[in-house]
Structures are given as C-alpha cells and as structure tokens.
Amino acid sequence: MVSPILELSNINKSFGHVQANKEVSLAINKGTIHGIIGENGAGKSTLMSIVYGFYQADSGTISINGNIVNLKSPRDSIESGIGMVHQHFMLVENFSVLENIILGFEGEIVFGKKLDEAKKNLLNLCETYKLNIDLNSIISDLSVGFRQRVEILKALYRGAEILILDEPTGVLTPQEVDELFKILRSLQQEGKTIVLITHKLNEIMDLTSNVTVMRQGEIAGHKKTQLTNKEELAEMMVGRSVLLRINKSPLKKGDVVFRVNNLQVKDDLDVLRVKNVNFEINEGEILGLAGVTGNGQTELLEALSGIRKVESGEIQLFEETISDKNNFLNPKDLKEKGLAHVPEDRQRMGLITNFKANENLIFGYHHQQPFSKSSVLVESEILSYSKKVMNDYDVRPQAPNLITSNFSGGNQQKIILSRELNKNPKVLLVGQPTRGVDIGAIEFIHQRLIDMRDKGAAILLVSVELEEVLSLSDRIVVMFDGKIVGEKVNQNVTDREIGLLMAGIS
C-alpha cells in the first residue's frame, strides 16, 4: 500500500460566525494527484491555506510522513516540503522570473557563487519538468500560463514534495491547460504529490487518482476516481442532481438592437488589437464570441462597454450611434440606456475588493433609487437589497457587510453577475461568466442567461470555455488576431470546427 504523505485530522476553522471547515479529516498518498472539489465557499481553499501555513486551524492536527507538524507560517510549510500555487498569483510584476523566485530568500543568495548555483538549479528544474522559462523575463511580459509555471518553479526550487494548486486552470487557454497537465503528470512521475483544488469535473476525471468532495465546510465523501463519474461527483458537491447540459427553448429572434460596424480598437501600447470587426445581435439572441485569450476579445469588450475609446468604426445601440472615433459614452451612460457589462477580470475591473459586498452589489447603480436619495446613500435600502440578492444568487457566506476580498473567487463572480443581471438589461455584454465558478453555480448562471434571452435580451457571450459557447449560443463568431474569421449558426456545430477557426485555420 502507498503510505500517506499528508494527513489532516479533525480540522476546524472559523472566521467570526462563519465556520469554513468542520471536523475535516483526509489522507493524501505519496506520489498521487489528489483532487479536492466542492462548491464555491465549501472550504477547499481555506483547508489548503491551513496546510500552507497561511491560516492556522482552530483545532485538529496535520501530519507529514506520519509526524505531527505545527505550521505557523508559509515558511514553516515550505521547510516541511509544501508548496502552493494560489488562484491569484503571488508575483511582483516588474521583477524578473529569477528575482521572484529568490524573493524572501535573497539574503541567502544575492551575489556570486550562490547566485550562479541558484540559476543552475533552476535551469535543471526547468529542463527536468519541461517548464521552458527564461529566468530573465519580466513577469508583466509573460502570459498567464507562463506566470503559473513560474509559481510552480518557485515551489519546486524551495524543495516542495507536496504541491497544492488552487483552481489552476481558471484563467488558462485550452492549450495552456494541456501543457499544465503534462507538467503535473511529469511531476507525479518524479514522485511529487499533487493536490488539485478545482470545480471542473473533466479535470478531476482526466488527471486524478483519488478525489475528496467538500460541501459546506465538511467532507461529503472520498472516491477513487476510476470508480466514480461526473454525475455522482456533481450530486455529492451540490447535494442534489445537477444538469450538466443546459435545456434551451427554440430561438425567437427579434429586431437587431446592437450593431458593430468596421470597428478598430488599440490597446494601451497603441497596438491595433481589434481590426475591422462587424457583427450584430438581435433581441432574444445569444451571440457567442469564441477565441484563444489575447486575440482582441478584451479590447473589444472594453470598447463596447465604454471603457476604451474607438479608433475607427462605430457601435450602435437601438439604431443610435453610441461610440465612434469622435464620441463615446461612459459605462454610467450606457447603463442608463439598458446596457450592462460583466467584465472578464473580476478583481481588476469588476470589484473593489477592499469594499464591502453590499457596496459592490450596487456599484454603477448607487446613484439610482432606492439606493440614493438627494445624493445620499440609503443604508437600510442597500442592506435589504443586498440580503435578497445574495440569497437569490446563493452567494456564500450571505454576509453583506463582509469585505469582498474575504469571499472565494467564485462567490466574487456571483456578486458581479447578480449586480448586472438583476437589473434586467436589454443588452448584456458578459466576459467569462463562469470563470472560477462551481458546477452548481454554473448551472444557475447558465439558466439565468437563458432566461434573459427568452425575455428578449440581446447577449454577447465572450468565453474561452468552448463547451460553454457551444452550449449557450444561438450563433457563434470566432476571433483570431483581432479579426472575425468565421461565423456559424449553432446547429450541429462541433468543437473541432470552432477550434480550427480559433487557431486561424478557415
């Protein structure tokens, strides 16, 4: 039998009145890839943050190789052979790869022979695990996938035998996911132990040998992956059966309400990223925009929502030109005209994370009644509204006065979605709606989008999740190198067809 390398016994952790972990016990075997799944707010990340020394348990014990350890800080965990790649990377963007890796340990290295040894060891690790990283690269110049590799390299360099990854594929393209999985399998073959926190059941079935399911802070069960299936795991996560495919009524298309004509948009470096893009969306229709991240979708969404100015071309809403080279409306004006926007990056553009949840739930609408009277916020109305919305959208914990940074990534996403969808916009621009969201919430969000479509809303859905685009869209356009390279009515369209267009192959 394979012996456990990591054992948790009766772990409890509370934050005020919220108990994040309740009597959690599990054992993870050496040299395996062990999955931990559960809904947003189920306690997965909190549990692993305790293992990493970021939090301390209120009670319970942690054992490594049979020995009880006291992990008071991440440094204690690192010295015990534990590394963690967080959902939101812990890197200094204007530092090089090498500087980020030795950060916190630079007093032991700094110059000369020890620095040369550090570089040599890092290059050996890169070669062994096929990480393909240039140590001199500046972090801000790297793609998300390579930034993640830097985090993995940092953990390996510091001697990690147990590597914890928290929602590692939430911001990766399909190609980057494939490369990550190759790296993780290579690590496993070298005897490393991987703990994979995820909500994606396909990843669990493809990659893990064992899986632990958490629900509402407790262990709902342990399974050998080969002896279970996605349906069973989904039901264990949510506590009920879950529809893994959306049921959609036939399209009832109305008038064109949103149109883009020959649109060109530049990025912050004055590089043209959107090139002569044309499309239109009808009432009661979902238009899916597919494409690999970095092909102009972000700049397009920002221009359509009034955040970025247009270089040339025009955007029309209800036959009115709302944005062209000489004129563009800001997001506040667009909201008043019935256009809502769910941004791709929830932390950078969707939320102010050091504000309370109830404040984030009304941003953009805070000047409207009943939230404001005579330019003064009405706290009682905001609190009452926030409690209802958090209950309707199952935001966990349902604590309107909690600082937004204390919510899990998936629950932060629900706060943004509830803010925009609850206003019943006539046109909805939504970027990556289910990024970092659990299976039960995905089902809920997808159904809300379909309900809006059935009520006549025109929806632009931008997603790197090809399955999501195929499941929800009535029509699909594909973006490559800033251009629309293909359009398909979504009837019997295959992921291979769309995937080829995403790669620029017509």
pLDDT confidence bin for 243, thresholds 50/70/90:
low
pLDDT confidence bin for 216, thresholds 50/70/90:
confident
- The rounded mean pLDDT for the chain is 89
What value does the mean pLDDT take over residues 252-260? 95
DSSP string computed for 312-378: EEEEEETTEEEEETTEE--HHHHHHTTEEEE-S-IIIII--TTSBHHHHTTTTTTTSTTTEETTEE-
Q: Which has the higher per-residue pLDDT, 136 or 327?
A: 136
pLDDT on residue 116: 80
Q: How far from 386 is each of 234, 383, 405, CA to CA, in Å?
A: 28, 5, 17
pLDDT on residue 138: 92
Strand ranges, E, within 65-168:
67-69, 82-85, 162-166
Cβ-contact 194, 184 below 8 angstroms = yes
pLDDT at 111 over 70: no
Reported CATH class of domain 256-338+425-502: alpha beta
Rounded Cα–Cα distance for residues 41 and 62 (Å):
22
Percent of the chain with pLDDT over 90: 54
pLDDT at 314 over 70: yes
- Most confident among 102-116, 238-252, 398-412 (mean pLDDT): 398-412
Q: 268: buried, middle or exposed (CB in 10 Å: 19+, 13-18, 0-12)?
A: exposed
The residues spanned by each domain of the chain are: 4-238, 256-338+425-502
Name the 3-class secondary structure at 128.
helix
Amino acid at 399: A
Q: Which has the higher per-residue pLDDT, 175 or 206?
A: 206
DSSP string computed for 443-465: HHHHHHHHHHHHTT-EEEEE-S-
What value does the mean pLDDT take over residues 117-143? 87
pLDDT on residue 499: 79
What value does the mean pLDDT take over residues 115-122? 84
Of 257, 261, 255, 219, nearest to 237 by C-alpha is 219
Answer whether 4-238 and 256-338+425-502 agree in fold: yes
Q: How far from 330 is each of 12, 304, 336, 357, CA to CA, in Å?
A: 47, 10, 10, 24
pLDDT confidence bin for 242, thresholds 50/70/90:
low
pLDDT at 408 over 90: no
What letter does residue 249 receive in the DSSP assignment?
A: P
Name the 3-class secondary structure at 253.
coil
pLDDT on residue 174: 67
Amino acid at 264: Q
pLDDT on residue 292: 78
Reported CATH class of domain 4-238: alpha beta
pLDDT on residue 288: 97
- Could you read off the pLDDT of 455-499 as tens digits, one per residue? 999 999 998 888 889 999 999 999 999 999 999 999 888 878 887
Q: How far from 376 is each of 5, 368, 371, CA to CA, in Å?
A: 57, 10, 8
Q: Is the peptide bond before 397 cis (omega within 30 degrees of 0)?
A: yes
Cβ-contact 301, 431 below 8 angstroms = yes
pLDDT confidence bin for 108, thresholds 50/70/90:
low
Amino acid at 56: Q
